[in-house]
Structure 1
Amino acid sequence: MSSQRVKIVEGGKLVIPAAFRRELGINPGDTVIVEMAEGELRVRSIPSAIRRAQELVKQFNPDGRSMVDELIADRRAEAERE
């Protein structure tokens, strides 16, 4: 992991070095996810956070079934029984 020394400026703002912004794929004005974990401040781009969430959810559906299709099929079956 690369590191770089930066200062906290007026108002508690942290300037993310340009090389890090490029690597994360973030630009001025973008929204990012910031979290505290194990005593560290972590910054992630929104696309990175979405990918991570998808990976976590995939653990519960390893064969890639469409949960939406299954839900729709269940609802249709219920409607037919009524």
Structure 2
Amino acid sequence: MADFPTHAEVRLGEQGQLVIPAALRKSLGFELGDTLIARLEDGRLVLEKQENVQRRLKARFSHVIKNTSLADELIAQRREEANGEMGE
């Protein structure tokens, strides 16, 4: 693998635009038209390709059985807890 830079100086433009240097874009696999997800993490701006975020989330929740509603499970759990508190 080629030696790509791991950091670069980037300036914020008048309208809040950032230009990611070509070498960094190439290193990250960013291409024209890619959708990037921006998030704050410990006071830092993190940019990721949308596909990478989707892949990570799918892996994180891969243990959940298909057609299972996590919202329904949470509501049922909360109702059980509330019923238990009312019975005390």
Identify the TM-score tier after normalising by the shorter chain. Answer: 0.5 to 0.7
Report the equivalent of 2:25: 21
Letter of the structure 1 residue corresponding to residue 53 of structure 2: A
1:64-75 maps to which residues of 2 (within 5 A)? 67-68=66-67
Question: Is the Cα contact below 8 Å between 2:11 and 2:19 reproduced in 1?
Answer: yes
Say yes or no: does 1:51 pair with 2:51: no
**Matched residue pairs, number?**
65
- Name the CA distance, whole Å, in 2 between partners of 1:31 and 1:54: 18
Letter of the structure 2 residue corresponding to residue 42 of structure 1: V
Calculate the aligned-residue CA RMSD, in Å. Answer: 2.5
- Name the CA distance, whole Å, in 2 between partners of 1:23 and 1:46: 16
Of Structure 1 and Structure 2, the greater strand share is in: 1
Compute the TM-score of the two structures, normalised by the length of structure 1: 0.63
Q: For structure 2, which runs of at least 5 residues remain unmatched after alignment? A: 69-88
Aligned-residue identity in percent: 31
